[in-house]
Structure 1
Amino acid sequence: MKAKKIMYAPSAVEQFTYKFNTENNTNIEHTHEILDGSPFVTINFKETPFQLIFEFTFELGRIQNQLAKAREFFLPLDSYPFPPDDGKQIANFHHTKQELFDGEEEKALQKVFDIDYKKTSIKDFYNNPLRALKKEIDEESFDKVIEESKFTFINNYNEKYISEEGLEVYYLIRNELIYLFSYGEY
């Protein structure tokens, strides 16, 4: 049985599912995607007994409601760790898009937004072009990022990767998560 629903914090679904599967010896899987600007999570319960499906969905709903009220996107890592790494630098790749700013350059340099509960500005990532990420993660993981994100490599005076919109791509690493940004002008 599968279920698809809008979720406030898809990363918390990953944390909760991992803990639930470990404690109940289940094999529940999930994926998430952004549709019309909203995060949807699809949960595959497979052969999970009905009673455990009920417990899972009830608790997940409670958790999502609690996180939304607190405006948090992750559960406490000490109680709800992410699944262990599968031996690769990047364990999971989640592709979501969010516009952070659209306007004049002067105002963009003043814009501040939260990433992993830290104040962030364009200045925090514009010195990190995506090509530099090759030095921080293994080649297979880097290739996965490029392929999954559909970035294009341009080799002219400076090597660069551009997004589908034709904007150069930059990155920022926070709490073992890699955030990718497109920045430029049309």
Structure 2
Amino acid sequence: MQTYETYRDQLASLLAPLPPREQYFFGCWCTEKLSGLFSIEKIKKLSAAESAQINGSMAFIWDSYTRFPDVGEQELYDTFEAVQQIEEKDFDQDDYAEYTAKALLIAQMLILSFIEERDPELILDAAETLIQVMEFSISYNFGHDTTDLFNHPLISNELRLQQQMTERLASGPAPGAGDKKLFRP
């Protein structure tokens, strides 16, 4: 039976040979999927400006991919700080939308941190965050037991897509920011 640990190990081995720009794309791609799992505008704790900032941060992440590794340090810092301030809000971790919003903010911070640190663990953490949100969704929205999580159709499909994406990134050429929905319905 697959576990989070074996998932991370397998994904790490797939990401390891990729150049940092392709690793960054993979993290962006996972975070993009995460951003599509809920409507940020429905979270009452967020002001209109905060919702716009979260959406703007996602746009910045993709724009940064097109400029990677030449991303302005101040712009990166400002975006990270804005996301971090929102992430520090008291989100209800028992509410799917709020749980997902917090996870998206964490994933965004991980991806933004990767720009400077180039640590593949940050990409692994962002990808795992997506799986954790999907697990929460399976339990919260569908009431299913997640004991055998990695055999659930939603999760096994996501793992298959992640493997396809790493294979695509390894075979080149590097995708563009317009490919952010590649392999996604």
Q: TM-score range by the shorter chain?
A: under 0.3
Q: TM-score, normalised by structure 2?
A: 0.27
Q: Which has the higher helix share?
A: 2
Larger Rg: 1
Give the TM-score normalised by the residue count of structure 1: 0.27
Structure possessing the higher relative contact order (Cα contacts under 8 Å, 6 or more residues apart): 2
